[in-house]
Amino acid sequence: MCIAAPSATLRGGSSLFQPSPGSRVNGSYLDLRPLCRRLTIPCLHNIACSPATCLPLSARECSQRRQVPQFPDTPAPTAPTAPQALTEKIVQRYAVGLAPGKKVKSGDYVTLVSHKCMIMGIDPDVQNKSESNQKKYRLIEEFAGKHGIQFYPLGHGIVRQTMLDESFSWSGTVTVASDSHSNIYRGISCLGKPVVRTDAAAILAVGQT
């Protein structure tokens, strides 16, 4: 069975569709097989008949015309990527060793290079006047002086607050501190990362985290 279509007329009066035996002319349903021979387009009735029923065409010719037209390959659409969050953008800025074009996303493992700016201060357990505690404070101050680190002795308040008061932390930067409340810096759009003492010692030793 072949597809049929209403009758049509070409310019000049010639009929585009010619009826074939058994066609329902009175119902305007005509055989499209002559159209396949006259037009250089794939066989229009390929979805409703097989080469064996295309009598006016050879099996090879009909098979060729039944092929789906080939179109140039187009790139597959790429899935839209979600924009980076503020934290990801800040980490992207200070991360090292990223592959070309790599965009940092949540869950990635990255390496950050610590900034040369560093301060040390004394605020915990200041009421402890024991010799052992005072000796610890002296060692901290001596270490800071030896390595040229800005040092804030007793009386300057909580160090994490000093970081803000003295503008050591600001928007778009990273602040790493051995202080469990270092996430306070996120209030000014600064990535605050608290680390334990062991991690802080590692940063002092190698300059990375």
The 10s digit of each residue's pLDDT in 72-116 is 666 666 666 789 999 999 999 999 999 999 999 999 999 888 666
Domain's final residue, options 66, 85, 101: 66
Do 57 and 118 reside in the same domain of the chain? Answer: no
Residue 83 inside a domain? The answer is no
pLDDT at residue 81, as a whole number: 77
- One-letter amino acid of 111: T
Domain's final residue, options 46, 66, 86: 66
Q: In angstroms, rounded to a whole number, what is the distance separating the alpha carbons of residues 187 and 31?
A: 77
Residue 160 inside a domain? The answer is yes
Residue 146 inside a domain? The answer is yes
Residue 34 inside a domain? The answer is yes
Do 132 and 53 reside in the same domain of the chain? Answer: no
Q: In angstroms, rounded to a whole number, what is the distance separating the alpha carbons of residues 18 and 16?
A: 7
The CA dihedral of 81, 87, 88, 93, to the nearest 10 degrees, is 140
Do 118 and 192 reside in the same domain of the chain? Answer: yes
Domain of residue 123, CATH code? 3.30.499.10
Nearest Cα to 84, choosing from 191, 185, 188, 169? 191
pLDDT < 50: residue spans in the chain: 1-25, 27-29, 36, 39-49, 51, 54-55
> How much of the chain is in helix, strand and coil states, percent to nearest 5?
35, 10, 55
pLDDT at residue 9, as a whole number: 42
Do 59 and 140 reside in the same domain of the chain? Answer: no
Domains: count for the chain: 2
Per the document, the length of the chain is: 209
Do 62 and 145 reside in the same domain of the chain? Answer: no
Do 45 and 121 reside in the same domain of the chain? Answer: no
pLDDT at residue 25, as a whole number: 47
Domain's final residue, options 66, 85, 105: 66
Residue 133 inside a domain? The answer is yes
| Domain containing residue 47 | 4-66
